[in-house]
Structure 1
């Protein structure tokens, strides 16, 4: 398959209702409104294909950019490639659920995520924290330095309330993910969540939302899910 045939198949799968939902979350034209599960038959035809992924991502079409993340070869991507992708990720569904997810399967994931977290840019920071969440939820605890994750929890505790709005979501999710998926720092994450308390995030329509990492961790404790790991990062 080439970029033209993939775009044709994606367009045929688009639904107006799905498109409206994506737009309400920040997606911009062009897009078709393809449910992610509907993309699997196309993936069976393309398989992993980095050159095609690059062409699709460059279209600027949200559905094509999402599909690019599905067929990308993360280990073939350089730091410059990921920087280019995050430059073009104009809202959180791209930064956190396409770029961060793809980065999480690369060997350079932590180094790139660290750089983005320190960048001061809202979506780069969000992608960096989200990448750690995808990593922690998939990779063995032994692949992480406990002291490093502990310092990251310190950063969250000190700065989350003053962070950009979208970054707050990812930072709050980091506390939760450490508490649920990284056993060595479970108690420390519980303490951090308690110290942070409710995190207020302002919505586009001026309605605030409150995030509560403590409540989410406790729900997983009650379900016996501490230490949870998923088999795959990407679908």
Structure 2
């Protein structure tokens, strides 16, 4: 904790706080500490228990994802309110857990939009890697009915699922693009040059073009 405190940079904190992250530690330096520590499950639990954002990010880098039970992961998700912590927790820990599918189903319809967003993130992962058994038309029904008015984090997660369904499934592509065009979610999102817009119709079309090897 003393080492993390020594890395606190007011300028980094100012940048991070604009994204809702309450820490001032450079993530490259944080990763260097994690590389030195290697996997240490017990230490990761102690760091997580502090509630400090930088400590929790480090905990997620040195933990053993498969060591957590499903109830432990559920509790941790509900504690992970900070965006970067939430993002790393879902991507670095839950997606590597043997309980990922069980939790996807449990979180998918949770009344807490942040928890539901994690369920949708896991659903997008399945669309990409293990789509067998998913009701993709049913997912599009839910997105069409709920995404427009969903809270921001949940809306982003549903939009990502919409794009992935459209990209990976030619038979559903026109419908996915049509849903995006009708809902207009993220249509006007500011996108830097040389980056792909998160607006689903543009996103789907661009990635499909790249996969086809078109110029």
Give the TM-score normalised by structure 1.
0.75
Total equivalences in the alignment: 202
- Ranked by relative contact order (alpha carbons within 8 Å, sequence separation 6 or more), the top structure is 1
Provide Cα deviations, 1:49-73, integer angstroms capped at 9, x if missing partner: 2221111112111111112111221
Q: How does 1:39-78 map to 2 (within 5 A)?
A: 39-78=30-69
Partner in structure 2 of residue 199 of structure 1 = 185
Name the SS of the counterpart of 2:116 in structure 1.
helix
In the aligned structure 2, how far is the partner of 1:104 from the partner of 1:62? 21
Q: Distance in 1 between matches of 2:133 and 2:62?
A: 32
Query: Deviations for 1:165-184, whole angstroms, at most 9, x for unmatched residues?
Result: 2210111011123334xx3x
Alignment partner, residue 36 of structure 1: 27
**Partner residue, 1:127:** 118
Match of 2:75 among 45, 63, 84: 84
Runs of 4+ in 1 over 4 A off after TM superposition: 134-137
Distance 1:25 1:78, change over 3 A: same
Give the RMSD, CA atoms, in angstroms.
2.6
Gaps of 5+ in 2: 190-196
- 8 Å Cα contact 1:39/1:67 also seen in 2: yes
Deviation at 1:225, TM superposition (A): 7.1
